[in-house]
Amino acid sequence: MYMKKILAGALIVLVGIGVISFKEDDRNFQIAKNLDLFNSIFKELDMFYVDTIDAEKMIQNGVRGMLALTDPYTEYYPEEEMSSVKELTTGKYGGIGAAIRYYEAKDRIAVIEPTEGMPAAEAGVKAGDIILAVGGKEMVRGDMKPQDFSEKVSQALRGEPGTSFILKVMRPLKNDSTILEFKITRKSIRTNPVPYYGMVRDSIGYLALSSFTENCSKDFKKAFIELKQKGAKALILDLRDNGGGSLSEAIDIVNFFVPKGQEIVVTKGKLKQAQGSYKTENEPIDTKIPLAVLVNGGSASASEIVSGSLQDLDRAVIIGTRTYGKGLVQTIRPLPYNGTLKVTTSKYYIPSGRCIQAIDYAKKNADGSVARTPDSLTNVFHTAAGREVRDGGGIRPDIEVKGDRIPNIVFYLMNEDIIFDYATQYCWDHPTMESVESFKLTDEDYRTFKELVKSRDFTYDRQSEKMLKSLKEVAEFEGYMEGASEEFKALEKKLNHNLDRDLDYFSKQIKTYIAQEIVTRYFYQRGAAMERLKDDEDLGKAISVLKDGKQYSEILSVKKTPEAK
């Protein structure tokens, strides 16, 4: 009887192994079958289709369709786009150091921001210059899409460091424009990951980190030590709109604030090489300095590792709005013919054990769309001190600060380059600016801006008008319009489009964006960061918390439940 039980158990195990083996064989057969079908279909089309097909384009579309079934972070880079991969990981490229974009008014590409100290800025190129030719080759759009046109000009401006060319631009002036030519020598450009740092209040330091590119931790360390030497007794780390980057750089930055040997990230994937544990490897700089981290919906990936780890270890107060929720890790894989695949290989888990990935791309809807994990399906984890934190939806701040929503009118003013053009006009009338601190957009300046808006016959979609129109259509369909017609007329009158009223009503928000655009023209990214901090609710809250030691400690400790009497 005992032997029969053993044999029965063995049979079950063998059958189980057989099922697994069968499923694996079946999967391999399906893969081989479909690859053969893809190859055969392409050959048939290439041979028999009535018109000559673009082989590369057709196969590339097939690759894109395949990748579309994964996630937005899994991407293929052919050989000619390898520079994009290098720039993504290192923050370096050979070029002139200038941001550009399509400028609809001229159907050309405009320089929107030369980088401080880089070839374009040193040669005299300014924001607002319209690019006419690069190295003698005219830059015209033709039938290209604006995005493709921008990429074409970008590639023309880039090249091997040390190579020179003539950049021909049209510079708009107050009542005219002039053609200028600059001889520019390309150099190795490295995006500055620390656009600004300084003392913001009493003994509180501020450090903005814009990306996690190669060696950014060294820039961070240098700035942090300098702030401490200037007397910083507390630090505000700004990770807002930092989309992430290198995992190792993120861990090195956390290491500045926590002891050596602390586990920060665990990765879990399908393959053994995708699994790992990442700990701090160096002695920290300061494990006691009070720390506040600013985040928002644009803070993702490595930014969430830093902010989430510091939260899990009760090492910093997180302030702002919920982060993006990217808990996935990508690996660069080489492909034949010098191509590259950036592929998601694992999920990461921070010290509390949670993964903050907000979207499960394996569970797509029939139409291909995906949805964020609802809060009701997230799980509770605990920080080192026992505070509750949750997974599956980004990093929730310890203190939420809901800033003003960007009004619809601001989006259209920026999209139609009116704020951009006004900044160019402002620079005509003000060749120099004394300092960021002394700059203030006056009422007279804003009147001039409003005149420019009106001269452009500016209009924009107002959501209230759209909603009212939809409501009227529903009311008519359901038979309620007859009894409510007077109310609708009264509401239409109140919601009547009035540009003067809107420009005045939203003046504070509009002035903020104008000021940032203007200051950037004189003081580049450093100035733009300083201007943003002038009226920053998140910064104000961080300063308040760091100045109040009792509140800071209470936030980072578990609230005790009152004992029953």
Which residues does the annotation mark as catalytic? 301, 312, 326
**Distance from C-alpha of 479 to C-alpha of 475, rounded to nearest angstrom:** 6
Which residues are CB-contacts of 488 (< 8 A; sequence separation ≥ 6)?
468, 472, 475, 481
Is residue 359 within 8 Å of 370, Cβ to Cβ? yes
Ordered alpha helix ranges (H), 291-378: 302-312
- Closest listed residue to residue 191, CA positions, set 300, 101, 304, 115: 115
Q: Fill in the amino acid letter for 249.
A: E
Interhelix angle 443-455/507-532, rounded to 10 degrees, is: 120
Q: Which two tokens stand for residue 462?
A: 């107002």
**Distance from C-alpha of 303 to C-alpha of 454, rounded to nearest angstrom:** 42
**Distance from C-alpha of 131 to C-alpha of 139, rounded to nearest angstrom:** 7
Is residue 102 within 8 Å of 139, Cβ to Cβ? no
Q: What is the three-class DSSP state of 55?
A: helix
Q: Which two tokens stand for residue 316?
A: 């910093």
Q: What is the three-class DSSP state of 170?
A: strand
Ordered alpha helix ranges (H), 175-229: 216-229
**Distance from C-alpha of 153 to C-alpha of 138, rounded to nearest angstrom:** 10
**Distance from C-alpha of 405 to C-alpha of 111, rounded to nearest angstrom:** 28
